[in-house]
Amino acid sequence: ANSARIIVENGLPPLVSLAKTGSPSAKQDAALALERLARNDDNKNLIARAGALGPLVAIVRDGRPMAQEMAALALATLTSTDLSGGVENRCRMLVSQAQGIEPLINLTRNGHEHAKQNAMSALRNLGIDPNGFEDAAEATAAFSVLSQFTSSKVGEAQAEANRESKL
CB atoms within 10 A of CB 94: 22
Q: What's residue 139's pLDDT? A: 60
Q: What's residue 135's pLDDT? A: 57
Q: What's residue 67's pLDDT? A: 97
Q: What's residue 99's pLDDT? A: 76
Q: What's residue 15's pLDDT? A: 94
Q: How far apart, in whole angstroms, are the C-alpha atoms of residue 84 and residue 42?
A: 8
Q: What's residue 157's pLDDT? A: 55
Contact 102, 63 (CB under 8 A): no
Q: What's residue 81's pLDDT? A: 73
Q: What's residue 9's pLDDT? A: 81
pTM of the model: 0.74
pLDDT in tens, the chain (167 residues): 577 778 778 889 999 999 999 999 999 999 999 999 999 888 888 998 899 999 999 999 999 999 999 999 999 998 887 555 555 566 777 777 767 788 888 898 889 999 999 998 888 887 765 555 555 566 655 555 555 544 555 455 556 656 666 66
Cβ burial 36-59 (10 Å sphere, 16+ → b, else e): bbbeebebbbebbebbbbbbbbbb
Cα 25 to its chain centre, rounded Å, is 20
Residue 142 contacts by C-beta under 8 Å, 6 or more apart in sequence? 128, 133
Q: What's residue 72's pLDDT? A: 95
Q: Is the C-alpha dihedral spanning 66, 70, 71, 75 positive or negative?
A: positive
